[in-house]
Chain A
Amino acid sequence: MQDSLKMSTVDLDFYYGNFHALHGVTIDFYENQVTALIGPSGCGKSTLLRCLNRMNDLIPYTRVEGKVCLDGEEIYEPDVDVVALRRNVGMVFQKPNPFPKTIFENVAYGLRVNGIKDKAFLADRVETSLKQAALWDEVKDRLHDSALDLSGGQQQRLCIARALAVEPEVLLMDEPASALDPIATQKIEELIRDLKKRYTIIIVTHNMQQAARVSDITAFFYLGEIIEVDKTETLFTRPKLKQTSDYITGRFG
């Protein structure tokens, strides 16, 4: 399978103040693949994810060393437009966080901040995004109701639709189903399998079984370092390192 490289990091070090959170992380993310980042709490997986769309810039006293590239171009160069980067690399957060607006306005938000006002265009794109997020049928008759009236699982799918509406190339998902019940989780996982046809997805998850179900490639993190990266099937059945197999079999974590 000849895959093209979508994003990559080379020797990435990250500091929260004096705390050295990521140590020399080098990893490739391939187009139209789902890459899962697994590891125990505090091992740096969310930190890495937030480096990919520069959301860590919002936290004061942080420092980045090394390279992070999207389509071969470094994103931490000073002349990079962070706003444009974040439209290309979208993010879905752990706890669903729809805006206190209508369902329609939530999905249209990313388009409106880009200056798009044309009503027909907005309506069309909102419908497409909600369909992609497998939420359209459930909300098509109440697009102008408050988003906060939806259930947790629906809200998370709304957040996914919202992220998709700006047509990113990469979708970052930070434990997207950890706050949801099993049925909603299953729907999200089906969604991810479907979305990878069009997007490159990088997902952080605490749930190893979820990583096994959903991803093509899995990276195991520990204390800010990548211990092992491999095709998911291989990593879970024939891990190369003892530390990996210890984590997978639940000996620690």
Chain B
Amino acid sequence: MNRMKHKNGVRVRRKVIQGAMFGIFKICAAANGIALAIMLYFLVSRGWRAISWTFLTQPPIDSMTKGGILPCIVGTLCLSIGAIAVALPIGVASAIYLHEYAHPGRILRLIRLGINNLAGVPSVVFGLFGLAFFVVYLDMGVSILAGALTLGALTLPVIIGSTEEALRAVPDTYREASLGLGATKWQTIYRVVLPTALPGILTGTILGISRAAGETAPIMFTAAVFFTPSLPTSIFDEIMALPYYIYVLATAGTDIEATRPLQYGTALVLIALVLGLNLIAIIYRSRLRRGR
């Protein structure tokens, strides 16, 4: 069977090409981890000195050159939770409509076009929109409410996209089986489809929270302020927020160089917050997955 035997040159060349390609793929994949590692190294090495119990639980003093960032932590938490509270119900409901109910046609195409364009709007434009519409026109003032609504609009396409993905992953045979037993379409959705799609929806929520927590431009005009002496007591209060605080300290603070450690410390806290929120959702999602 001479024609089946490897010609020596060919075999070697194939091995080299395979090896090279796998090597390139591995490097690309590793690059993700390396980039994150480098970033974390920078932040940690420059900011760890600022982290202390005081830093996390006290408000800033001495014109924000000392003290802590408690109001910022509280503000960012309020905004993230608020944004999800707005985007999750509307986003999931929209995705359910788009995937389970809508008939193919012009209206469906228009809606999808709208969602895709919404996803592409720059975050500073969202900020301006939030200012003009929520803060001024609806007279909410600079407040948690205005900020959460603006961030919610920004997060909406993320939620819709990942929820639709999750719904698509639910096998049609489940829907058929349910309808065949005499369930209505809505019963099928909330008893079978949604529970099955829940892990995927949670993934979208994770992405959404991360995005909402870190955005600066949308909250600059709508919710966050340079400084406020007390913690928020209502949704109409203005707040301080972690990403905006970093910006403020680094550009317009009273002593930019001296407060560098504070800036890095704030950045560290922000990342920790985002990772913490992610972790909660990941744990919940893996519990659900194990349950099947």
Contacts between the two chains (Cβ within 8 Å), count: 66
| Interface segment, one of A67-75, A93-101, A131-139, A208-216 | A93-101
In Å, the complex CA distance between A239 and B181 comes to 37
Q: Which residues of B contact A83 (CB under 8 A)?
A: 182-184
Contacting A at CB under 8 A, from B220-273, are none
Chain B proximity of A61: nearest CB distance (Å): 10
Residues of chain B whose beta carbon lies under 8 Å from any beta carbon of chain A: 103, 171, 173-174, 176-184, 187, 191-192, 195-196, 291-292
Residues A91 and B180 in contact in the complex (CB < 8 Å), given A97-B173, A113-B191? yes
| Interface segment, one of A5-13, A159-167, A181-189 | A159-167
Q: By the criterion CB–CB under 8 Å, are B181 and A58 in contact?
A: no
Q: Which residues of A contact B184 (CB under 8 A)?
A: 83, 113
Q: By the criterion CB–CB under 8 Å, are B182 and A97 in contact?
A: no
Q: By the criterion CB–CB under 8 Å, are B183 and A113 in contact?
A: yes
Q: By the criterion CB–CB under 8 Å, are A93 and B177 in contact?
A: yes
Chain B proximity of A7: nearest CB distance (Å): 16
13 more A-B residue pairs beyond the given contacts A93-B177, A97-B173, A163-B181, with a C-beta to C-beta distance below 8 A: A58-B176, A58-B179, A87-B181, A87-B182, A97-B174, A99-B192, A100-B174, A100-B196, A109-B183, A112-B191, A113-B183, A113-B187, A148-B292
In Å, the complex CA distance between A148 and B196 comes to 13
Residues A100 and B181 in contact in the complex (CB < 8 Å), given A93-B173, A95-B173? no
Q: By the criterion CB–CB under 8 Å, are B176 and A166 in contact?
A: no
Q: By the criterion CB–CB under 8 Å, are B173 and A166 in contact?
A: no
Whether a CB of chain B sits under 8 angstroms from the CB of A4 is no
Q: What count of chain A residues pass the 8 Å CB interface test?
A: 28
Q: Which residues of A contact B291 (CB under 8 A)?
A: 146
What is the interface of chain B mostly: helix, strand, loop, or mixed? Answer: helix
In Å, the complex CA distance between A37 and B273 comes to 62
Whether a CB of chain B sits under 8 angstroms from the CB of A90 is yes
Least CB separation from B188: chain A residue: A113
Q: By the criterion CB–CB under 8 Å, are B179 and A146 in contact?
A: no
* Partner of A86 from B103, B181, B192, B195 at Cβ < 8 Å: B181
Chain B proximity of A219: nearest CB distance (Å): 22
Q: List 8 A-B contacts (CB under 8 A).
A: A55-B179, A90-B181, A95-B173, A99-B177, A99-B178, A113-B182, A114-B182, A162-B177
Residues A110 and B176 in contact in the complex (CB < 8 Å), given A97-B171, A99-B192, A148-B292? no
In Å, the complex CA distance between A162 and B192 comes to 14
Contacting B at CB under 8 A, from A115-173, are 146, 148, 159, 162-163, 166
Q: Which residues of A contact B174 (CB under 8 A)?
A: 97, 99-100
Q: By the criterion CB–CB under 8 Å, are B180 and A55 in contact?
A: yes
Whether a CB of chain B sits under 8 angstroms from the CB of A53 is yes
